[in-house]
Amino acid sequence: KGRIAGNDCQLADRFGPRIVAHPQTALAEVMDGAHLFVNTTSLGMDGEAAVEIDFSPLASGAVVTDIVYVPLVTPILKQAEQQGFATVDGLGMLLHQAAPGFEKWFGTRPGVDDTLRALVIADMGRH
């Protein structure tokens, strides 16, 4: 819908009139009929508490994603799953962003696939 929720209007100021900032209290209104919900905050990271979100205003079949990848299933994603929505964790974004940097350092671009994802998840479990 081209709208963001939050108290900070910096994104709207930077990207122009197509972006409209809204306070968190307007979240249900902003979500109404949306097909995608993206959490770009650190809420739920490393066991940190997350706010309770009612995802019911989203369109049927909407997807909820979170840029947080530790834990893979964040409190926000758990809430969305419990409410019947498809979810996408933040690990894919991390891997795709890391590939160009890895290539610059080591001269080869890793393929981002299920094998790499499994390796990273296994390593995350050791820490």
pLDDT, one tens digit per residue, over 2-37 is 444 444 567 667 888 777 778 888 999 999 999 999
Residues with Cβ within 8 Å of 88's Cβ and at least 6 positions away in sequence, in order, are 63, 64, 65, 66
Residue 24 amino acid letter: Q
- pLDDT score recorded for residue 2: 46
Residue with tokens 């979810």: 87
87 and 78 in contact (C-beta within 8 Å)? no
Query: What predicted TM-score, i.e. pTM, was given to this entire model?
Result: 0.79
- pLDDT score recorded for residue 76: 95
